Structure formats: structure tokens, C-alpha cells
Amino acid sequence: MHLSQAQLNPVYKKMSDINDLRNKMDAVTLEMINLLKTRTNIAREIGEVKKNIGKSISDEEREDNLRGKILQLSKEIGLDETLASKFLNFLLNESIRVQSENKQTHLSIFLKAKSLEQKGEKIIHMEVGEPDFSPPEIVKKSLSEVFDKGFMKYGQAKGMPIFREELAKYVSKKFNVEITHENIIVSPGARFSIFSAISTLLNPGDEMIVIEPAWPAYKDCALNAGIKVRTISTTLEEKWEPSIEQIKNTINPNTKMIVLNYPNNPTGKILPEKLQDSIIQLAKENNLYVLSDEIYSQYAKINWKSILSYNYEKSIVTQSFSKSHAMTGFRVGYGIASKQIIEKMAKLESLCLTNVSEPIQYVAMKALDADTSNNSKIVQKRLDMLSSKAKEMGLEFIIPDGAMYIFAKINQEGFDGVEFANNSLERGIAVAPGEGFGNYKGFIRISACQDEKTLMEGMHILGNIMSEKQ
Ligand code: PMP
């Protein structure tokens, strides 16, 4: 009788079994890659069609439909539903990624405007959120003294201890809360705190809720980290207010964070206090992180309450010197959260950039002493003026409760904000297309970041372009 190697040696048999299984697994994986390629091609084709007919990239209803089918199938075949849902989230994000390749936002218009200026064209910038006024005078003085003060070495990722102490005092006083330096991380702009909060607190396949219209970076940070965004689209008719029902219906076991941004970019909205209270309550009940981007708090015109005042241990508030102190180019902002969250964010910051430049931290620390109330007055006056002019021109919008913008609907058949913004560049004005902030093709955002005379000139040109189109 002839016995095979496997029969003679049980260990050999096990090894050959593993090899068979591994080969099968490899074949399945390769097949999945082929299918992924097919799926990506289809997504790209859908993207082209959507662009042609002016349809938005995300379609929550269709996604939910597919999610339902996948959960049903998972049940039938005995696959873990959370795993299936995470895998679906990965696939959905890939579709969004390929379809977003040519997305136009206020930044792409800004860059086009800049290159036209380099060629000698004159452009009125009403697209970008960058205050035209100078940083406080004390910034100039502290820039000249920083060398002698010796702030110029490597430092802690979280920021210079002395600056964090000062920020803690400043925040505690300004927002009537108790914050210590352990709750603060200094970052290069609020943008990086937003990026690090999303990237470190959430995992691929987790879900994050964004209320649109919204500054596009929240979604982009999530997409970059493999996190699925669930969008809640608010409307002008509903005064840009999400309903608690809408938010409730969006939460599922994978939901880990909700992003808030009030005063809002682009609408200028501040939520009624009761609605904000209910959102925080809902977040607490569902153990969600609340990422509250409050960089326009300096420009709140009506009563506004910081998320810090809820004392919720899973909240992260982002702040910046960019808008309040007109220090966009200094790239300095900060995050405020529990010590544990700050530690996590600091790890990523340390990995990416060691720390924010010490001279810049010193200058920002000094800027905390400046009285910036005049900046708020200037922006408010401009917004009032822009609002009355926009009304006169027949634009539809809500009077901003704060921030630096008007988000207006253009009442023209088939109006396309992207096309309009691109064409307007040729006429010497730059505005931000609504599409950069969500599914708002018929809207444009107008910034109050120029002096009144320039803004008026810009509105005049805008009016001319609009009346020619009718
Ligand atoms: N959040 C919002 C809502 C913004 O509009 C911006 C900039 N336009 C930022 C964050 C980024 O600010 P920073 O310059 O501090 O990175």
C-alpha cells in the first residue's frame, strides 16, 4: 500500500490545507480587486452624467436603499452587519472620491482669480473668507521682539506651555467656562485641529454627520480618513435649521461624530438655543463626539452659546486667530477638548509637524491682549450694507446672524453657481459657487471681506451680470 506524504505526516497535511485555503483566499481577493475596478469605472461614468445634468454627488436616499439591501443580505448569509456596513462605507467613499475630482469650490475660484491677477487683471474678491484689515498693532511689535525673547526652538506638539496657559485663561473668561492648559492644543489654523480631531477620533468605516451647507473641509477630512459622511441638507425655506428628527433618523450604530459650525460658513446662521440644546442632548444620548467649529464666534451678531458651555466630555471646539484677529497668514488656531482627546490629537500633530512655529505662537499669545471688537463692528456694518443691496437686487437669503457671508439664492431658471462664478471672473469679480458647500447649485456666497466701496462696486457688477442673464 502506498501512503501519501500527507497521510504519513499530519503536519504536512495541515500545511498543504493552509496553502489550498490561502490560494482560494488570494483568488477571492483578486476577484474583489477586479470588481472594485469595474465598480470604480461605473462610479466615474455616473459622475460624468451627474455633472452633465447638474445632479449632486451624494444621494443619501439611494445609499440608504443599498445599505438596507446589504444589511438584509448580511443577515441571510450570516455576515457581521457592522463589518458589512463599514465595507459599504468604504465603497461609497470611493465613489464620492472619483466623482469629486473636479469639484469647484470657493478655493478653486480664488486660485483662478489669483492667476488672473498675476496676468494684470483686476479682480474684486468676494469669494474668499479672508478679512482685508490688518492684524492688531501689537502683532507687529511682538514680531520684532520675538527673536530677543528666544522663542525659536522645537517645542511640545500641544503648544508652548505659557501660550496654552494664556489661551486657557482667555477661553475661560470669554466663554465663561473652566478650561485648563491640558484642554488646549495649538494648531496651524483651526483647519489642522479639525483634521486631527476627525482623523484621530474616528476609524475607517465610522460615520460622521455634517449639516449642509457647510465648509467643505469637514467632508474632505472625513473622506481622506475613510470616514463616511452622512449629510443633513438644510434649506433656506427652513431658515437653515436641521430638525431633530432628521438628525435622529441619520444616527445608526456606526455614527460617531456630529459636526456643528455656528455662526455658520456660508449661511451666517446661529441655531436657536433650544435646538442647539436638543442636538447636544441627542449627541450625549448616542455617545457621539461633537466637533464644534466656532471660528466665527467673534462675529456673532445675535445671542450665541459656545458648545463648551455644555461641559460635554466628548466635545471638541476649534478656534482660530485667522478671522477674529485677521491673522490668516500666520496659520495659528487651537482646539479645546478633554485632556484625553487633546493627547490623541497631539500625537498626530507631533507626527505631522512637530509643533506650530514658536515665533508664531509667541505673536499669537501677544495678540490675545488686543481689542478686536472693532473688527466685529466693521464686518457687521458691511454685512448690513451687503444685505440691503442684495435685497434690492432680488436675491433670496436670510439676514446673517453672524460670520462674514451672505448665502444667496439666485432666482433665475437653471442658474448654475459654478458657471456663474467662472464667468464672473471675466467681469472682474470673484464669488463662491454654492455647490462648494453642498447641493446648492442655485446659490452663491458673497464675502464681506473688502471695504464698503469695493463691495458696492462688486455688487454693482454682479447686478449687471444678473440682469444680462435674464
Ligand atoms: N472653519 C471654517 C468654517 C472656515 O471658514 C475656515 C476658513 N475659511 C476654517 C475653519 C479654517 O480656518 P484657519 O485659517 O484657522 O485654518
Statement: residue 198 has pLDDT above 60 = yes
Best mutation site among 127, 259, 265, 407 for ligand 1, i.e. most ligand atoms within 8 A of its Cβ?
265
Domain formed by 148-367, architecture: 3-Layer(aba) Sandwich (3.40)
Residue 415 CA, ligand 1 centroid: distance in Å: 28
Structure-block grid coordinates of residue 330:
500666520
Residue 215 CA, ligand 1 centroid: distance in Å: 8
Residue 88 CA, ligand 1 centroid: distance in Å: 31
Q: Considering the domain 31-99 in this protein, what is its CATH number?
A: 1.20.59.10
**Cα separation, 164 vs 322, whole angstroms:** 18
Q: Please name which of 164, 192, 189, 169 lies closest in space to residue 179, comparing C-alpha atoms.
A: 169
Statement: residue 8 has pLDDT above 90 = no
Structure-block grid coordinates of residue 78:
450570516
| 141 Cβ contact list (under 8 Å, min separation 6) | 366
pLDDT tens for residues 292-328?
Answer: 999 999 999 999 999 999 999 999 999 999 999 999 9
Alpha-carbon 106 to chain mean position: 13
Best mutation site among 321, 323, 437 for ligand 1, i.e. most ligand atoms within 8 A of its Cβ?
323
Burial of 3 (0-12, 13-18, 19+ CB in 10 A): exposed
Best mutation site among 295, 336, 447 for ligand 1, i.e. most ligand atoms within 8 A of its Cβ?
295
Burial of 46 (0-12, 13-18, 19+ CB in 10 A): middle
pTM: 0.88
In this structure, which residue's CA is closest to atom 13 in ligand 1? Answer: 189
Q: Cβ of 151: how many Cβ atoms within 10 Å?
A: 21
Q: Facing residues of 320 across strands?
A: 333
Tell me what pLDDT residue 48 has.
86
Cell numbers 449639516 correspond to what residue?
A: 211
Three-state helix/strand/coil letters over 345-384: HHHHHHHHHCCCCHHHHHHHHHHCCCCCHHHHHHHHHHHH
CATH superfamily ID and name for 106-133+373-469: Aspartate Aminotransferase, domain 1 (3.90.1150.10)
In contact, 401 and 268? CB cutoff 8 Å: yes
Cell numbers 476609524 correspond to what residue?
A: 203
| C-alpha torsion angle, residues 266, 267, 272, 276 (rounded to 10) | -30
pLDDT tens for residues 236-271?
Answer: 999 999 999 999 999 988 899 999 999 999 999 999
Structure-block grid coordinates of residue 252:
445608526
- Helix, coil or strand: residue 204: coil
Compute the residue count for the chain. Answer: 470
Residue 76 CA, ligand 1 centroid: distance in Å: 46
Helices and strands (H, E) in the chain, number of each type: 16, 11
Tell me what pLDDT residue 468 has.
80
pLDDT tens for residues 52-90?
Answer: 776 777 777 888 889 889 989 999 999 998 889 889 988
Tell me what pLDDT residue 1 has.
58
How many Cα atoms occupy the beta-carbon half-sphere of 436 within 13 Å?
26
Query: Cα-flanking dihedrals φ and ψ of residue 207, to 5°?
Result: -115, 150
Burial of 372 (0-12, 13-18, 19+ CB in 10 A): middle
Q: Do domains 31-99 and 148-367 have the same CATH topology?
A: no
Residue 279 CA, ligand 1 centroid: distance in Å: 23
Name the band, by pLDDT with cuts 50, 70 and 90, for residue 449: very high
Q: Cβ of 286: how many Cβ atoms within 10 Å?
A: 15
- Helix, coil or strand: residue 75: helix
**Cα separation, 2 vs 16, whole angstroms:** 19
In this structure, which residue's CA is closest to atom 8 in ligand 1? Answer: 129
Name the band, by pLDDT with cuts 50, 70 and 90, for residue 7: low
* CB-defined site of ligand 1, < 6 Å: 129, 189-191, 215, 261, 265, 293, 295, 320, 322, 328, 333
Q: Please name which of 289, 207, 293 lies closest in space to residue 251, comparing C-alpha atoms.
A: 207
**Domain range list for the chain:** 31-99, 106-133+373-469, 148-367
Query: Cα-flanking dihedrals φ and ψ of residue 374, to 5°?
Result: -65, -35
Q: What is the mean pLDDT of residues 433-458?
A: 93
Residue 220 CA, ligand 1 centroid: distance in Å: 13
Residue 62 CA, ligand 1 centroid: distance in Å: 31
Best mutation site among 130, 322, 437, 445 for ligand 1, i.e. most ligand atoms within 8 A of its Cβ?
322
Element (H, E) at 208: strand 207-212
Query: Cα-flanking dihedrals φ and ψ of residue 300, to 5°?
Result: -80, 125
**Cα separation, 146 vs 360, whole angstroms:** 9
